[in-house]
Structure 1
Amino acid sequence: MTQTAQTTWLDRVVEVVCVAVLAAATAAIFVILCANTILRYLTGSSLSWGNEVPELLFPWLVMAGIVLAARRGAHIATDFMVLILPARALRAVRVVVWLAVAGLHLTLAVATLQLLPIVHDERSPILRVPGSWTYGCVMVGLSLLAVLALQSAWQSFGTSARTNPQHAQEAS
């Protein structure tokens, strides 16, 4: 969740996977929507599944973007209050906050996992894709966010108390 001067193997894996999902989903959605538009214009009809596939891919695109933004430290953070704390307290607050964030993401991931069998029976109208496909992306994304938050807690614990991990790369 932080961008540090030293990128870990986890950062690299998350980055590659998220960028790949974003690129594939965006390209597929673009091609399908363009093909459908051209077909409607030329023939007056379109692919029967042409609207369904983008609807199935869009949640994956969004969740990959959320995880990638978290990995890059691009989400909005309000930290002006904690920056006035003494150095040791600041480090402790950062670690506790990251652990709380990880716990919340993990709790939501487990709750989503418990919903998968229920929504698996729901099928998309044309392709018959189970509802667990879209819920699965939420579970995967929340799990990745929890892992990244744990990594940030570890990095916050090990960094200088006054170093702001989200701006460490800019300083180097």
Structure 2
Amino acid sequence: MSPRPNIEAADPERVTGVEGPPHPPSPPLSLADGLDRIVSVLAQAIVVVTGCALLALLLANVVARYTLGGGFSFAQELPERIFPFFIMAGVALAAQRGGHMAVELLPDLLGRRGRQVVRILAQLCVVAGHGVLAVVALDVAGISWIDQSPVLGLPASLSYYAIAGGAAAVIVATLALILRLFVIGPEAMPTPNPEELGL
């Protein structure tokens, strides 16, 4: 399932959920859909695999503590290396679905065209910020591979690669949103599902 903001797929036409004519399929929207599908499938797979691995490690360690009188020596190291992948995949999914915090005061004061420009500029800032994050994370990963966990010998650089990969996924998802903002307008901004919002 590809999470697309305010847009429902229809074969002949694209329905945006906003007032006005539906948006027919176009190359930019098809590209945005493809980018979203890639990010969504990869991020969901990473969340499921790492979430199950974290749960299995926790369960195995608890069982070992009660049955063997002590936990597994690797049970603390492995989650430290897995958890960043779990978190960054979730960050990418939240970026796709509009689940991150945002201040809406300025766009609400503007007309439709002004909202479109402000939202595109804001998304370009997201791309730039995550680009810097990815580059810095890769730099740190390059020097932190020597720091290895004592039991399994896993390099600390894995966590930084997770951060860089998550930042790249956010960039791809944001570029897909920018394409939609150009073609559709400010109505293309994702609306988070109320059930997914915290209080």
CA distances 1:108-156 after superposition (whole Å, capped 9, x unpaired): 1111112221111111111111111110000000111112222222211
Question: Which runs of 4 or more aligned residues in structure 1 lie more than 4 Å from their structure 2 counterparts after TM superposition?
Answer: none
1:61-100 aligned within 5 A: 61-100=86-125
Structure 2 partner of 1:12: 37
Equivalent pair of 1:5/1:168 in contact (CA under 8 Å): no
TM-score (norm 1): 0.88
> Unpaired runs of 5+ in structure 1?
none
Shift of 1:86: 2.1
Structure 1 partner of 2:17: none
- Please state whether the residue corresponding to 1:81 is helix, strand or coil: helix
Of 73-82 and 15-24, the range deviating more from structure 2: 73-82
- Aligned partners of 1:102, 1:96: CA distance in 2, in Å? 10
TM-score (norm 2): 0.77
Aligned residues: 169
The reply to whether residue 102 of structure 1 matches residue 127 of structure 2 is: yes
Q: Aligned-residue CA RMSD in angstroms?
A: 2.2
Of 80-89 and 100-109, the range deviating more from structure 2: 80-89
CA distances 1:9-39 after superposition (whole Å, capped 9, x unpaired): 2211211111111111111111111111111
- Aligned partners of 1:81, 1:115: CA distance in 2, in Å? 36
- Please state whether the residue corresponding to 1:157 is helix, strand or coil: helix
- Aligned partners of 2:192, 2:144: CA distance in 1, in Å? 42
Equivalent pair of 1:33/1:51 in contact (CA under 8 Å): no
> Unpaired runs of 5+ in structure 2?
10-32, 194-199
Percent identity between matched residues is 30
Q: Per chain length, whose mean CA-contact separation is higher, i.e. which structure has more relative contact order (CA < 8 Å, sep 6+)?
A: 1
- Aligned partners of 1:70, 1:108: CA distance in 2, in Å? 15
